[in-house]
Structure 1
Amino acid sequence: MTLRLGLTGDVMLGRLVDEQQLHRSVTAVWGDLLERLRSLDGLCINLECCLSTRGRQWRRTRRPFHFRAAPEWAIPALEAAGVDCCALANNHVLDYEEPALRDTLDELDGAGIAHAGAGATESAALTPASVAVGDCSVAVVALTDNTPEYAATATTPGTAYVEIDVEDAGTRRTVETALGQALARDPDLVIASLHWGPNMETEPPEAFRRFAHWLVDEGVEVVHGHSAHVFQGVEVYDGCPILYDTGDFVDDYAVDPSLRNDRSFLFEVTLTPSGTPVELRLSPTEIADFAVHAAGDEAASWSRDRMCELSAPFGTTFDREGEALVCRLGG
């Protein structure tokens, strides 16, 4: 029997999403995808906000946006969808300073939701998360090249920050430390969740491709990228899926009429019982009313065509199955 591991782009539950959720069902944010999410054997997201009602907005450097959601509804919503792991290495986890970050960590711990990529120290931020997907053990390492002022140090809280440069000795040491911890647990699957690059870019730079290939060579089997707010192409390298950017899953952002940052996919990796990725399934999604939904016909067609176009330079092809795109990984 195969297993289904879901991956999403940015889940931003703050600001207008937070306002709406305080007056509607906690599961409303998942729209008509709730049962689909709950049916997965595992689900990992990038949590693009802190979960707290405390703290003050970061003002030490210029930050135009600050994202914070009330744990009273956000935690039950994550639990209802079956979220197993939150990547926290991003440019919003410290938006309300240290108290809100600590609340986020405590709230997730209290709910039994694994997390990686941020912590009370750099060592804690680099510590991989451990997740059970069926009978498979999964280790998740989360890293970011965004917002260096949010980087954790030996004595201060923050994110697992790295430069995306395989030639940089410091980057290699940091990543090898995190991956070494992950591999020491002898997991069935290793995921690298990367919040990398600037907003609204539709293609990864060559440096990202080199970095992703190096990660696979070092033992990573799924690369889960996010940050651009728009999805990018998929590459299959040595049988492993590289999702350069999974776009936005839930948020309240203004929509670019050309780049359509309100459209993306639920990315599902099919695993063998021993944890080998064998298939990637992309189900089109779109954001409306501050919630995620299965994409309508026009949006789904646009997203499928766009994904095929963006993935073609990597030699990646898809089959069509119903509304979804499917890529065989050869595992």
Structure 2
Amino acid sequence: MTETLRLGFTGDVMFGRFVNQRQEHRPPHAVWGSMRERLDSLDGLFVNLECCLSTRGRQWTLTPHPFHFRADPDWARPALQDVGVTWATLANNHVLDYGQDALEDTFSALEAGGIPYTGAGRTETHAWEPSHVVVDGLDVSLVAFTDNTPEFAADGDSPGTAYVDIDPNDEACLERVKTTLERAREENPDVLVVSMHWGPNMREYPPESFRAFAHWLVDSGVDIVHGHSAHVFQGVEVYDESLILYDTGDFVDDYAVDPVLRNDRSFLFEIEVSPTGSLFDLRMVPTKIAEFAVYRAFPTVAEWCRETMRRRSAEFGTQFDVEDEALVVHVGGQ
């Protein structure tokens, strides 16, 4: 049997507000609940860090911005290290919630923890710089950007996010992303990942424009599309032996729960990859947020997650198996 590596992807990891308050009274690893061992067993773990890591700064007030998330790096950094987070995207609408000082503290905390990041930076060039990591000999290049909150965009020498108005018909958008992909491919990676914080909240299905853009990314050489922003998971698609995770939902946070859309339920998305970068299986482990931590979903919740994922993926023709309560998608041949 071919040896494989397991790469895990999550949606929002938001350590602020009530999560931060609860963590003052429990050890850093408690935020991972019953998923801690599973996360730690992965060969690589890639997350959307949906907050700044700082105790400094003032809430953003330059434009309307109702929610502000930050976490104390004294526990947040050890928590990320505890489960071996390999890389974090900062391309989202919350990394500047407490201004430039808090964003600088975020960079410093991740750098001190040995956690690469991309999608935000001290300058516009830095924000758009691809990341490169090695996972047990597997070379992975990562590109991250967002279409959320244009006022957070890095500009010239000003810190901020890698922002672009995502539109498959906009030549300026395509050229900006294409240039970054070309730089990422200079490392000759085994796997190329694009991580995007895109679209509005609480949408069960991606718009046609996002489907077209995701296909363009794969046609441009991307192996894994890692989407997030909607707070609810969306369907998954196998396209030309690559994987498109349109939205990975919420993984751990304190958000208000919609009783119908259930943004407290999602998955840990595990992708089995060969040592040379071929994608084999996608395994989705159902999860549930409770007590400001993440847990493996109980059977009834797991069934809801599986059936909902099937429904949201139906238009893509995705075929699923069930193994140990996880949904499995076969991507390529072994």
TM-score for the superposition, normalised by structure 1: 0.99
In 2, the alpha carbon distance for the partners of 1:184 and 1:130 equals 10
Amino acid paired to 1:5: L
1:317 aligns with 2:298: no
Which residue does the alignment assign to 2:90? Answer: 88
Q: Secondary structure at the match of 2:145?
A: strand
Structure 1 residue 16 displacement after superposition: 0.3
- Does residue 1:73 correspond to 2:75, yes or no? yes
Asked if the contact 1:234/1:316 (under 8 Å) is kept, the reply is yes
Alignment pair present for 1:263 and 2:273: no
How far 1:292 sits from its partner (Å)?
Answer: 0.2
Matches within 5 A, 1:227-246: 227-246=229-248
CA contact (8 A) 2:13 2:250 kept: yes
Contact 1:270 1:280 in 2 (8 A): yes
Q: Which residue of 1 aligns with 2:301?
A: 299
Query: Cα deviations across residues 262-310 of structure 1 (Å, max 9, x unaligned)?
Result: 0000000100111111110000000000000000111100000000111
Q: Percent identity?
A: 60
Q: 1: distance between equivalents of 2:304 and 2:16?
A: 28
- The one-letter code matched in structure 1 to 2:297 is A
Residues 42-121 of structure 1 aligned to structure 2 (within 5 Å): 42-121=44-123
Report the equivalent of 1:190: 192
**Aligned residue for 2:137?**
135
Q: Deviations over 1:189-225 (max 9, x none)?
A: 0100000000000000000001100111111100000
Give the letter for the 1:51 counterpart: L
| Structure 2 alignment gaps of length 5 or more | none
Instruction: Give 2:178's match in structure 1, choosing from 169, 176, 179.
Output: 176
* Matched length: 331
Aligned to 1:18: 20
| Contact 2:15–2:76, Cα closer than 8 Å, also in 1 | yes
Which of 144, 147, 162 pairs up with 2:146? Answer: 144
- Contact 1:42 / 1:132 at 8 angstroms: preserved in 2? no
- Secondary structure in 2 aligned to 1:283? strand
Aligned to 1:122: 124
In 1, are the aligned partners of 2:278 and 2:332 still within 8 Å (CA)? no
Q: How does 1:204-223 map to 2 (within 5 A)?
A: 204-223=206-225
Range moving further from structure 2, 239-248 or 131-140: 131-140
**Aligned-pair Cα RMSD in Å:** 0.7
Distance 2:227 2:171 in 1: 22
Q: 2:280 maps to which residue?
A: 278
- How far is the alpha carbon of 1:260 from its aligned partner? 0.3
CA distance in 1, matches of 2:83, 2:179: 32
**What corresponds to 1:155 in structure 2?**
157
Q: Contact 1:86–1:113 (CA<8 Å) still a contact in 2?
A: yes
Which residue type is aligned with residue 96 of structure 1?
A: Y
Q: Which amino acid is the alignment partner of residue 316 of structure 1?
A: T
Q: Which one of the candidate residues 32, 35, 48 is aligned to 1:33? A: 35
Task: Note the residue ranges of structure 1 that are not aligned, 5 or more in a row.
Answer: none
The alpha-carbon deviation at position 95 of structure 1 amounts to 0.3
Give the letter aligned to residue 110 of structure 2: L
Deviation at 1:133, TM superposition (A): 1.6
C-alpha displacement of 1:12: 0.3
Following TM superposition, by how much is the alpha carbon of 1:176 offset from its aligned partner in structure 2, in angstroms?
1.4
Deviation at 1:235, TM superposition (A): 0.7
Q: Partners in 2 of 1:324 and 1:124 — Cα distance?
A: 38
Shift in Å at residue 312 of structure 1? Answer: 1.1
Matched with 1:248 is 250
TM-score by length of 2: 0.98
